[in-house]
Amino acid sequence: MRLVLSAGEASGDQIAADLARALKARLPELEMAGLAGPRMQSAGVIPWYGLDALNVMGLTEVVAHLPRLVRLRRDYRQRILAWQPDAFISIDAPDFNLGLARQLRRRGLTTIHYVSPSVWAWRARRIGKIARSLDLLLTLFPFEPELYRPHGLDARFVGHHLADELAELPGREQVRAGLGVAADQVMIALLPGSRGGEIRRHARLLAETATRLRARYPGAMLVMLLARRDDKATVLDLAGNALAEAQVTLVADETRVGLCAADLAIAASGTVTLEAFLVGCPQVVYYRLPAATYWLARLLRLVRTRHVSLPNILCQHNLVPERLQQAATADQLSRDASAWLDQPGRVEAYRALAEEWRQRLGRGAGEQAASAILEKLAHG
């Protein structure tokens, strides 16, 4: 059997590597190739292209790279068809992968996509087009398959890789002890986001918030969790003095450990809010978009969900505060933080709900996805 696996960014590389290992364990003679990052390659996927082939963010950057991306998709399609695989399996990166899947399906190839686009949050009109592009969709959340069933797409919930990975972390007390955090010391994690634009929009806001938190909790440990070491220079350039005065420690590449140890996270909206939820860390979610982008999205009514953070979307109520645009102020975020820290009963209920969701999402996603794919290929 031959399968093409196509990721497009680091998160997809991890999910695809997990899937590749599960497939290879069942079919040792399986051949896999495609658009692959380092983790996929270590799992046995031959890299026709690396992740850097798609590593562009933002509208202007995409427009500048459009001719190259069009050539890439054309060359990639021709290479796939010449190799004659049993299926094309794309993982996330929907703007690139789903268009390619649609073209390949028209040529008779079985097409499978892993990770549903966030159609429940914005651009819901994509659902029909997605359904016409695929033979099988594997979803991370249990409510997603129902969105596609009216369009005739075979969509299956396989679980979330984060829940599987986070289950392997040691317990909160053990993590705190390892970091030297006293049992009675308050630890607050500040997360500006992982993208450059997010850090530039959020660094000063978090520094101002930290100043207020330091005044309210003088003995607290305040830690800013950064996705990469390279982000430190940007943060220090934007808000270094204020962060130093508030005694904020910058920590890179330790987000999960930091969230596991923290009593509270003040987090930019994104996947990290799900990570915080699944490790039982109470949180305040905020986000600031560029003003023009925010108003354009509202004008065009692109956003359809009442909630923006994954904990609230999963639970369908205001489990955690969400502060967007002008509502995301240092005064508001520090008040929201205090509301968590001053209500231990609320924290206990949150952690119990988080454990329920961790069990529900932690199903061995790679194994579940491999089973669904092989069943689809065997029976259609």
Q: Do both 324 and 205 map to the same domain?
A: yes
Q: Do both 322 and 176 map to the same domain?
A: yes
Q: Do both 65 and 210 map to the same domain?
A: no
Q: Do both 271 and 348 map to the same domain?
A: yes
pTM for this one? 0.87
The token duo for 335 is 């008040």
Q: Do both 118 and 204 map to the same domain?
A: no
The whole domain housing 25 covers 2-159+363-379
Strand partners for 155: 137
Q: Do both 123 and 208 map to the same domain?
A: no
Residue 171: DSSP 8-state: P
The token duo for 268 is 């930019």
The pLDDT assigned to 194 comes to: 87
Residue ranges of the alpha helices (H) in the chain?
A: 10-26, 38-42, 59-83, 94-106, 126-133, 145-148, 161-166, 172-179, 196-216, 231-245, 255-261, 271-278, 291-299, 310-315, 330-341, 344-361, 365-379
Q: Do both 184 and 315 map to the same domain?
A: yes
The token duo for 113 is 């996509």
**Total of domains in the chain:** 2
The pLDDT assigned to 122 comes to: 65
Q: Do both 191 and 209 map to the same domain?
A: yes
Q: Do both 253 and 351 map to the same domain?
A: yes
The pLDDT assigned to 292 comes to: 67
The pLDDT assigned to 120 comes to: 74
Tell me how crowded residue 102 is: count the other CB atoms within 10 A of its CB. 15
Q: Do both 175 and 308 map to the same domain?
A: yes
Secondary structure (DSSP) of 198-224: HHHHHHHHHHHHHHHHHHH-TT-EEEE
Q: Do both 121 and 194 map to the same domain?
A: no
Q: How far does the chain reach from its first CA to its final CA, in angstroms?
A: 15
The pLDDT assigned to 343 comes to: 96
pLDDT tens track, the chain, 380 positions: 999 999 988 889 999 999 999 999 999 999 999 999 999 999 999 999 998 877 544 444 456 667 877 888 899 999 999 999 999 999 998 988 999 999 999 999 999 999 999 887 666 678 999 999 999 999 999 999 999 999 999 999 999 999 999 988 888 999 999 888 998 999 999 999 988 889 999 999 999 999 999 999 999 999 999 999 999 999 999 999 999 999 999 999 999 999 999 999 999 998 999 999 999 999 999 999 876 666 666 655 555 567 889 999 999 899 999 999 899 999 999 999 999 999 999 999 999 999 999 999 999 999 999 999 999 999 87
Q: Do both 150 and 71 map to the same domain?
A: yes
- Residues of 80-90 as b/e, b for ≥16 C-beta within 10 angstroms? beeeebebbbb
The token duo for 303 is 């956003």
Strand partners for 267: 191, 285
The pLDDT assigned to 220 comes to: 97
Q: What is the CATH number of the domain that holds 105?
A: 3.40.50.2000
Instruction: Report how far apart, in Å, the C-alpha atoms of 113 and of each of 14, 156, 300 are.
Output: 15, 11, 27
The pLDDT assigned to 58 comes to: 42
Q: What distance separates the 2 farthest-apart alpha carbons in the chain?
A: 65
The pLDDT assigned to 311 comes to: 96
The pLDDT assigned to 297 comes to: 61
Q: How far apart are CA 268 and CA 286, in angstroms?
A: 5
